[in-house]
Amino acid sequence: ADELTALVLETGSFGVKTMALLDRANTESYGNPELTTVELGVRNNPAILISGHDLKDMEALLEQTAGTGVDVYTHSEMLPANYYPKFKKHDHFVGNYGNAWWKQREEFTSFNGPILFTTNCIVPPLSNASYKERVFTTNATGYPGFKYIPADEKGNKDFSQIIALAKTCKAPQQIEEGTLVGGFAHHQVLQLADKVVEAVQSGAIKKFVVMAGCDGRVKGRSYYTEFAEELPKDTVIMTAGCAKYRYNKLPLGDIGGIPRVLDAGQCNDSYSLAVIAMKLQEVFGLEDINDLPIVYNIAWYEQKAVIVLLALLSLGVKNIHLGPTLPAFLSPNVAHVLVENFGIGTISNVEEDIKSWIA
């Protein structure tokens, strides 16, 4: 068991290195994510909806749609593209449309224009879906009947057929209005470090709650919305991944100008949350990262959430809560090791969890 545990922690350390490398690639290419107000409504122009995680595709789509009269909106995990300076300079990049991946059947119908999948997650369309002819995929994604956009030998992609189709489509139907605030990756938060430290020392912020991870359609995931709503007003949520859609549009306010939901970005941007925790550990002069006023309430769904978990374990983080249920691959023996060595737990109900973790 000890040898296997060491192997798992080594896997987690590679997760940290990989996420750090991706973070560097993204920030060196597109600038550091910055505090951004993202539009949730729509304009009256034809548009393309881009989903997934691949920022290179986002860059190419924005460049190829410039000056065409076609707007671009993000969907689900592409929301954090709104936080990058290089993308924000495009005035036809409007904002975000919709929510997490599992609502796509309804949202793709009302969007009216083409949809580009750059990575997971595709939900198979119903047989009578009106949007089937409007979906394009690229990279490793694909689905029978969807059109695939390949890269040429230099890695470039031609999105002209998507743009041509968009011009024949109606403008998106509005499904939401208002804005949300994001862009709190490690660079932005560390710029606010003095403000954050002061808020903690004065008692204005009592606890940080890391609620990163994935969203899903099962009813039990409404727990995360209720948990966010019921948290004491002196707590701040730090998030990354599509789990954020359970609470990122709630009117939770701010603490001395610090929003109570700090969105670091995509699931792979959970690296930012680890960097922030390590920086706070350094600022407060703590020997153990677990002495920080941080609670971990992680929503898991698939492999990426697992590597995020292993990355946190490799950094020495303990007492992480996983939900809404424990993964099936946590056999009784494995679960025992995780509980014994790392204090891994699950969730119960909102009232009990807030009482035992936050009080």
Write out the DSSP string of 337-359: HHHHHH--B----HHHHHHHHT-
- Over the stretch 131-170, which tens digit does the pLDDT of each residue have? 999 999 999 999 999 999 999 999 999 999 999 999 999 9
φ, ψ of residue 166 in degrees (nearest 5):
-55, -40
- 324 with 218: CB under 8 angstroms? yes
pLDDT of residue 329: 81
Calpha distance 171→113 (Å, rounded): 7
Task: Decide whether 2-30+183-357 matches 36-167 in CATH topology.
Answer: yes
Listed by start position, the domains of the chain span 2-30+183-357, 36-167
pLDDT of residue 331: 87
pLDDT of residue 6: 95
Q: Out of 3.40.50.2030, 2.70.70.10, 3.90.480.20, 3.90.105.10, select the CATH number for domain 36-167.
A: 3.40.50.2030
- The residue whose two tokens read 């592409």 is 78
pLDDT of residue 305: 83
CB-CB neighbours of 169 under 10 Å: 16
- CB-side neighbour CA atoms (13 Å) of 116: 32
pLDDT of residue 56: 98
Which residue ranges of the chain lie beneath pLDDT 50? none
pLDDT of residue 118: 98
Fold of 2-30+183-357: Rossmann fold (3.40.50)
Residue 210, CA distances (Å) to 169, 264, 295, 319, 336 in order: 40, 11, 6, 12, 23
Q: Enter the pTM of the model.
A: 0.96
Residue 59, CA distances (Å) to 82, 113, 157, 270 in order: 12, 19, 11, 22
pLDDT of residue 301: 87
Phi-psi category of 195—alpha, beta or left, where left has phi over 0 and alpha has psi -120 to 50? alpha
- 73 with 46: CB under 8 angstroms? no
Calpha distance 159→148 (Å, rounded): 10
E strand or H helix at 135, and its extent?
Answer: strand 135-138
